[in-house]
Structure 1
Amino acid sequence: MRPRRGNVWAGAEHGRTRFPVSKTEQSGHRTQLTESEYASLLGKARTVCVAAKVGLADQLASGPKSALELAGPMQAHAPSLHRLMRTLASLGILTEQRDSVLR
């Protein structure tokens, strides 16, 4: 069965897969997201979803803590938790303070 035009699996145009998600540029024209833009947005959304599922915001509500301090109460792998927190900091959701303490 051939996918419908505009469907996520609809193939490539000029070597770049086009997705049905649209964005508005500064010029006011609507354009479709490229595969890499869509993947980037999806990765950011998944990162925020993982943080919500593990309850990271609840753990940080009482104040800034390092991944090592949070790993025990959250029953999480400290290096993986640190990578998650650094990624959230790169997205502007957390801020990194001295000695890998994030809030």
Structure 2
Amino acid sequence: MPLPDDLRIRKALFNKYFPTEDWERAFYLCTNEVKRISKYTGLSFNEVQELPLSLFLLYRKESWIYSFGRTEEGKEFLKTLWRLQQTKADTKAIREFQTRR
């Protein structure tokens, strides 16, 4: 599930769901994705780095979703991302809203 391409939306989502302080940004982990994929697949760091790109990207996506799906806050974040990707109007919700007014 990719993030929106618009950098402003991406930054707003991360600021809302992943607030960070200056000290946290100073200690950014470069191998964080490899660690997450390694933990998710059971592969070693070297095995992860030797994966074909298509398989690496698949595991990156799957491990990312899996890690968020483990907490209530993460599930809410995934739900928000899904909602933002929807292009069709929710006519049922629109009708319910109009009847309440």
Normalised to the residue count of structure 2, the TM-score between the two structures is: 0.24
Instruction: Give the structure, 1 or 2, with the largest relative contact order (CA under 8 Å, sep 6 or more).
Output: 2
Greater strand content? 1
TM-score where L is the length of structure 1: 0.24
Larger of the two Rg values belongs to structure: 1
- Structure ranking higher in helix proportion: 2
